[in-house]
Amino acid sequence: MKVGWIGLGHMGMPMVKNLAEAGFDVRVWNRSISKAKESGLPYAETIKQLLGDRDVIITMLFGSQSVEEVYGQIASSGVPLRGKIFIDMTTVHPETARKIAELMIKNGADFLEAPVLGSVIPAREGKLTILVSGDRETYERCMVIFEKLGKNIYYMGDYGKASTMKLINNTVLGSFMAVLSEAFAFGKKAGLEPETVLDILSNGAGKSGILDAKREKLLKEDYSTHFSIALIHKDICYALDLAKEYHFPAFMTTQTLDLLSSARANGLEEKDFSALLEIYKKLANIKEET
Ligand SMILES: NC(=O)c1ccc[n+]([C@@H]2O[C@H](COP(=O)([O-])OP(=O)(O)OC[C@H]3O[C@@H](n4cnc5c(N)ncnc54)[C@H](OP(=O)(O)O)[C@@H]3O)[C@@H](O)[C@H]2O)c1
């Protein structure tokens, strides 16, 4: 399978490198072409150029708007799409996934919606969890690709389901990060030793993959980006949109959105979402010597 890859952000770059290392013939494209050049992988200057001889095209973009823009360009590129398989791994609104599926199928292509769970480190290690919606046979044909990117792969059925599950997962992720930041800041304010607070939370009620992943970031206040505030904010907005649709009372998620909005308003949107800690520090007037 010749693979075309669109989107070389924090996730896309390590993911496509795994495919290249596994021996796939890959060619990449990224909006900021410098990232494509720096990837060391064969790259195309335009989307049209990328599509040419590729059998499978994978997109890993920011969210619904970028996905709609890129698939719009793909559909109007003039390149015949019949027989190609498109896989979108971006976290999008389920409605977007259904819309893009319709567009690709109308153009004679196959489409899979395949958002991922796990951040930069699982992406590097090929240990993501992948949720897939779309035609089962196409999914099975693409398993050779999914197996190189992920460890746990779930077939979710109809379009929209994979994205819905991904958003539900991220309500937990966002709210968990919020409550962990709150507890850590609380400990600081109360004069407890920060490392001890995290050790005890790790052995107590805070024991979680997210605390394991963010422990050092919280301790060192190292907000170098793995998963940005802008991305989780986007996901929570989609999730609350869905909740509205289902008349579902998403109390916790609503509060998490307020906290994330406050982080964005305070210029933290490009930082890792562990930077929620900064909002608590500010609100509680926590100085380092406290
Ligand atoms: N980071 C994580 O931990 C994580 C974990 C699970 C899922 N996800 C999801 O995976 C997706 C990618 O995440 P990421 O962390 O890799 O994001 P990112 O670092 O912000 O990268 C976004 C990518 O999308 C491209 N892009 C944005 N808008 C575009 C547009 N209008 N047209 C063309 N390209 C556009 C960017 O190109 P430029 O380089 O030109 O800006 C970049 O390549 C997101 O949907 C995110 O929610 C992320």
166 is catalytic: yes
Smallest CA separation from ligand 1 atom 1, residue: 227
| Per-residue pLDDT tens over the stretch 92-151 | 999 999 999 999 999 999 999 999 999 999 999 999 999 999 999 999 999 999 999 999
Residue 289 pLDDT class (50, 70, 90 cuts): low
Question: DSSP letters along 154-175, please?
Answer: EEEESTTHHHHHHHHHHHHHHH
Distance CA 11, CA 117 (A): 11
* CATH of span 2-157: 3.40.50.720
Q: Where does ligand 1 bind, in terms of residues with CB under 6 Å? A: 7-12, 30-32, 35, 60-63, 66, 69-70, 90-91, 116, 119-120, 226-227, 231, 235
Distance CA 181, CA 203 (A): 16
Tell me, what's the pLDDT at 288? Answer: 73
Sketch the domain layout of the chain as residue ranges.
2-157, 164-283
Smallest CA separation from ligand 1 atom 42, residue: 9
Tell me, what's the pLDDT at 290? Answer: 44
Q: 0.75 exceeded by the pTM?
A: yes
Residue 282 pLDDT class (50, 70, 90 cuts): very high
Radius of gyration of the chain (CA): 20
Is 221 in contact with 277 (CB distance < 8 Å)? Answer: yes
| Per-residue pLDDT tens over the stretch 11-70 | 999 999 999 999 999 999 999 999 999 999 999 999 999 999 999 999 999 999 999 999
Residue 285 has pLDDT above 70, yes or no: yes
| Per-residue pLDDT tens over the stretch 188-234 | 999 999 999 999 999 999 999 999 999 999 999 999 999 999 999 99
Distance CA 227, CA 271 (A): 8
Question: DSSP letters along 8-22, please?
Answer: -STTHHHHHHHHHHT
Question: DSSP letters along 25-60, please?
Answer: EEEEE-SSHHHHHHTTS-B-SSHHHHHTT-SEEEE-
Residue 78 pLDDT class (50, 70, 90 cuts): very high
Given 17, 166, 217, 281, the catalytic residue: 166
Class for the domain spanning 164-283: mainly alpha
Three-state SS at 89: coil
For ligand 1, the distance from its centroid to the CA atom of residue 81, given in whole angstroms, is 24
Three-state SS at 111: strand
| Domains 2-157 and 164-283 belong to one CATH topology | no
Phi-psi region of 148 (alpha: psi -120 to 50; beta: other; left: phi over 0): alpha
